[in-house]
Structure 1
């Protein structure tokens, strides 16, 4: 009876693989969020001539630059 049930009770090879995947996903999210934050701060630092080269005005730059990092 026990020899039949034994094959169905397999343990994962690495019990921490789920934790590692979640930590890796959290770190990837943090890196992406920090990159967005830096880009928006850099946009706010541009002068009007540079913004004109990009094809946006100061109002658009302020709207985009003042968004929180978690908003697209």
Structure 2
């Protein structure tokens, strides 16, 4: 069984994204990244990888009332 945290998602309307002044602020980090690239059928690269932990933060999106924080 995987030891992973619950991820919450929320749909954001196009109008909300269009109203974001200055664009989005995205940051993140990866810990323990391992990537293996092999040549697959027809020379197409096949990428296989894993990470111990990944953190991604997206800011400056107006979520409105009832937004979940913390």
How would you bin the TM-score normalised by the shorter chain? under 0.3
The TM-score, its normalising length taken from structure 1, stands at 0.21
Q: As a proportion of its length, which structure holds more strand?
A: 2
Instruction: Looking at secondary structure, tell me which structure has more helix per residue.
Output: 1
TM-score (norm 2): 0.22
